[in-house]
């Protein structure tokens, strides 16, 4: 992680600079030169505390893989790239991928295609999975593990349209979502709000929801891409959410996600919020480290189960 001097340290130095004016007369010309030299060294040293990044810096391996019963397993393995790199890097690493289900090696050999390794196998909810990726060139071993959560079904989804029209002449409708939580375990959820036309799902980025279980402290803004929350406030109970969404024809994807998935998305949204897209330097925040559960490298190996429902009941 890059080392950045806190702003409070710079302000403290500024206070010393202001107070030093009271004592310059006693130093004479030599004393003045000494003070100026010390101040220059201090200021310049603050601008060089971040070491230069070049091609000689070591590159860490990165493994990314999301498990879901609804999709084949796809494993991406790459290397980190220096922040100041001007060219894309092409790696010639080859990997042997092994996947274990409940500590039993699965008899499948992943196929390499278009920068990823594909394994056409449907993971099982409630099962434990461990991945091992061995570099054929240098025997570097990456490992990670996760448990696929159980599927949680949407019991009901209804729509009220129109609900209201805002000052931009956008007409909103209201989706009412219901599902039952399993109180025997700690569950982590993600909701994707969208439109449903002819059984085609299109994500909606303009919606509003007010409920104690939903917070926006880790999402980008008031209209986040997805909603992350836990069952801490409604454990073992039915959850009813009213979601105001632009347009007609609603659909919801409800994901029961693993702890690793939840933590990765939570820190990812905080990182995206910290990018200061408006270029307002008055809002610079502390760096946010992304979540990783890959051993001997970086990346994420996580899982989820999902249920999708349209307003027509399908």
Which token pair is 254? 């409800």
Identify the burial level of 298 via C-beta atoms within 10 angstroms of its C-beta, where 0-12 means exposed, 13-18 middle and 19 or more buried: middle
User: How would residue 199 be classed by pLDDT, with cut points 50, 70 and 90?
Assistant: confident
Q: 52 versus 14: which is more confidently predicted?
A: 52
pLDDT value at position 34? 46
Distance CA 121, CA 300 (A): 19
pLDDT score of 225 more than 50: yes
Whole-number percent of the chain with pLDDT over 70: 70
Comparing 105-109, 144-148, 176-180, 286-290, the range with the smallest average pLDDT is 286-290
pLDDT at 276: 59
Q: Is residue 22 over pLDDT 50?
A: no
Higher pLDDT, 226 or 31: 226
Rounded CA-CA distance 216/207 in Å is 13
- Confidence grade of residue 12 (pLDDT, cut at 50, 70, 90): very low
Of 96, 106, 155, the C-alpha closest to 129 is: 106
Span 149-153, mean pLDDT?
Answer: 96
Inter-residue contact 157 to 310 (CB < 8 Å): yes
Residue 152: per-residue pLDDT: 96
The rounded mean pLDDT for the chain is 79
Distance from C-alpha of 294 to C-alpha of 300, rounded to nearest angstrom: 6
Split at pLDDT 50, 70, 90, the class of 205 is confident
Give pLDDT, residue 164: 93
Q: What is the DSSP string of 117-156?
A: EEE-----TT-EEEEEEEETTT--EEEEEEEPPPP--EEE
Taking residues 303-308, what's their average pLDDT? 97
State yes or no: pLDDT of 232 exceeds 70: yes
pLDDT at 42: 47
pLDDT digits over 263-273, tens only?
999 888 777 76
The answer to whether residue 163 scores a pLDDT higher than 80 is yes
> Is the pLDDT assigned to residue 115 strictly greater than 70?
yes
Helices (H) and strands (E) in the chain, counts: 3, 17
């Amino acid at each position: 992680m890059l080392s950045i001097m806190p702003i409070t340290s710079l302000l403290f130095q500024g206070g010393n600079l202001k107070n030093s004016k009271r004592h310059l007369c006693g130093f004479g010309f030599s004393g003045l030169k000494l003070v100026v030299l010390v101040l220059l060294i201090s200021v310049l040293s603050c601008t060089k505390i971040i070491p230069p990044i070049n091609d000689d810096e070591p590159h860490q391996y990165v493994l990314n893989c999301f498990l879901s019963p609804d999709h084949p397993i796809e494993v991406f393995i790459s290397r980190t790239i220096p922040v100041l790199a001007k060219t894309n890097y092409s790696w010639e690493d080859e990997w042997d991928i092994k996947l274990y289900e409940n500590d039993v090696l699965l008899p499948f050999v992943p196929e390499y295609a278009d920068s990823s390794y594909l394994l056409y196998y449907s993971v099982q909810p409630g099962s434990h999975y461990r991945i091992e990726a061995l570099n054929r060139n240098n025997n570097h071993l990456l490992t990670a593990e996760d448990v696929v959560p159980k599927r949680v079904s949407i019991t009901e989804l209804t729509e009220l349209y129109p609900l209201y029209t805002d000052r931009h002449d956008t007409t909103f409708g209201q989706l009412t979502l219901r599902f039952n939580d399993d109180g025997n375990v700690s569950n982590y959820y993600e909701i994707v709000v969208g439109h449903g036309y002819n059984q085609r799902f299109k994500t909606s980025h303009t919606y509003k929801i007010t409920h104690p279980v939903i917070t926006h402290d880790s999402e980008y803004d008031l209209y986040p891409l997805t909603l992350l929350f836990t069952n801490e406030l409604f454990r073992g109970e039915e959850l009813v959410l009213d979601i105001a969404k632009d347009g007609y024809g609603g659909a919801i994807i409800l994901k029961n996600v693993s702890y690793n998935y939840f933590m990765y998305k939570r820190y990812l949204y905080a990182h995206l919020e910290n990018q200061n897209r408006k270029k307002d330097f008055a809002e610079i925040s502390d760096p946010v480290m992304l979540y990783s559960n890959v051993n001997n490298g970086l990346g994420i190996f996580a899982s989820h189960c999902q249920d999708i429902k349209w307003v027509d009941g399908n």
